[in-house]
């Protein structure tokens, strides 16, 4: 299916502006994608018409808010093909979802001497929570090495796996390199030694169809703001048997069954993990973001972005002295690069003056940058509304910046 990109762009109000006197070229989608009007309108509509607390009232507004809020849970279930609706837990985002699992899983399933495996290319959000958990329970954190191109070395992964491995936590797609990891193979091997697997899907769900049952992932996390939705709302999928055995992450209202001063019993799934008043408006708006992606077609989105990445890679490599970090055979819509000895911040500053928004720095992957021996990169990341003309503008901007700074 050929997408009408101009029509898609018309749905995003923020794209139609100038920055520093130049038309905005927004290529920082790996950090956060822009929002279509329908998502913005959903937030306004909720506050103007339906605002009330959910699950706690018999009055009409509360019932309407609850119905809309819970309908999104069902949407997410179908979007990632979870077996049960109650396996979908609302969080503030991928970071909180990983922290929830590390904390709650650790309390029950981690013992001194156990091991957690992560890879060299993980985001800080998939490093620090496991470090904290390992320190608390006396477990060891093991790092799966990668190749120069940014691919997991599977033989080394096999060497690290053992009967002591309690958890394997990996990203589906690297936010810095774009590498798409071979999850079926990884999850299958981890399960053979009895390890659970958590997948950070923050960079995969925006670009490809995800089927958690087909993957057989024990936990899968993603954030709304990277799939054209609002900030402050994310999803944790967990297999029912794990979630039933894990204790609550937060205490308070909603997550309780009965409270007395002597003892509290906990609510059933998913509410056991959703203490307090939730982010109702943004959850409802997440539903509109999912509808947008499904109407455009997730496969179509991925195909267009892959075309953009191939085109941008070809054009950028024409720039003298430019080198790309992350050249895996299977990668998503991210290109990280440096030009000569130019610092990424300096390159990013010049590009901003030309109206081009890219990411510069370590991208919350400091250990990965240290492994490459660089301070960071310039990262261009693509979404469905980006165009080849914008890629041309980026390339010309990089050439101009290189001439000024080289």
Active site residues: 364
Residue 2 — φ and ψ, nearest 5°? -90, 125
Helix axes 280-296, 60-80, angle to 10 degrees: 40
> From CA 141, how far away is CA 129, in angstroms rounded?
11
b/e map of 13-36 (b: 16 or more CB within 10 Å)?
eebeeeeeeeebbbbbbbebbbbb
Neighbours of 111 (CB within 10 A): 12
Q: What's the token pair of residue 72?
A: 């999104």
Contacts of residue 248, Cβ cutoff 8 Å, sequence gap at least 6? 104, 255, 266, 272, 273, 275
Beta pairing class for 356-357 and 25-26: parallel
b/e map of 118-128 (b: 16 or more CB within 10 Å)?
bbbbbbebbbb
- Please, are residues 406 and 321 in contact by the beta-carbon 8 Å criterion? yes
DSSP assignment, residue 162?
-
């Amino acid at each position: 299916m050929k997408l009408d990109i101009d029509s898609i762009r018309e749905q995003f109000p923020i794209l139609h502006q100038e920055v520093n006197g130049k038309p905005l070229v927004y290529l920082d989608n790996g950090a956060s994608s822009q929002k279509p009007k329908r998502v913005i309108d959903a937030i306004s509509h909720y506050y103007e018409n339906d605002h009330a607390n959910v699950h706690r009232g018999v009055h009409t507004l509360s019932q309407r808010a609850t119905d809309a809020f819970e309908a999104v849970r069902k949407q997410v279930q179908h979007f990632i093909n979870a077996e049960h609706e109650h396996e979908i837990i609302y969080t503030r985002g991928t970071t909180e979802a990983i922290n929830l699992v590390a904390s709650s899983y650790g309390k029950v399933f981690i013992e001194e001497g156990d091991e957690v495996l992560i890879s060299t290319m993980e985001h800080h959000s998939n490093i620090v929570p496991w470090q904290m958990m390992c320190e608390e329970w006396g477990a060891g954190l093991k790092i799966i090495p990668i190749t120069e191109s940014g691919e997991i070395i599977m033989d080394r992964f096999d060497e690290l796996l053992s009967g002591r491995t309690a958890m394997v936590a990996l990203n589906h797609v690297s936010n810095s390199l774009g590498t798409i990891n071979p999850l079926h193979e990884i999850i299958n091997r981890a399960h053979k030694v009895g390890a659970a697997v958590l997948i950070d899907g923050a960079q995969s769900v925006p670009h490809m169809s995800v089927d958690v049952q087909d993957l057989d992932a024990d936990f899968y996390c993603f954030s709304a703001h990277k799939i054209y939705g609002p900030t402050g709302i994310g999803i944790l999928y967990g297999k029912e048997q794990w979630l039933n055995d894990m204790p609550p992450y937060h205490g308070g209202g909603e997550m309780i069954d009965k409270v007395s001063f002597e003892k509290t019993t906990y609510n059933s799934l998913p509410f056991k993990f959703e203490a307090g008043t939730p982010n109702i408006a943004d959850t409802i708006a997440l539903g509109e973001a999912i509808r947008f992606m499904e109407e455009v077609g997730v496969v179509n989105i991925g195909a267009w972005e892959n075309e953009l990445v191939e085109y941008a890679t070809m054009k950028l490599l024409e720039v003298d002295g430019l080198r790309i970090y992350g050249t895996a055979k299977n990668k998503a819509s991210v290109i990280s690069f440096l030009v000569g000895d130019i610092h990424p911040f300096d390159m990013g500053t010049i590009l901003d003056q030309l109206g081009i928004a890219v990411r510069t720095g370590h991208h919350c992957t400091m250990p990965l940058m240290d492994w490459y021996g660089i301070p960071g990169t310039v990262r261009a990341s693509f979404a469905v509304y980006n165009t080849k003309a914008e890629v041309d503008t980026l390339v010309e901007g990089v050439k101009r910046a290189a001439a000024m700074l080289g």
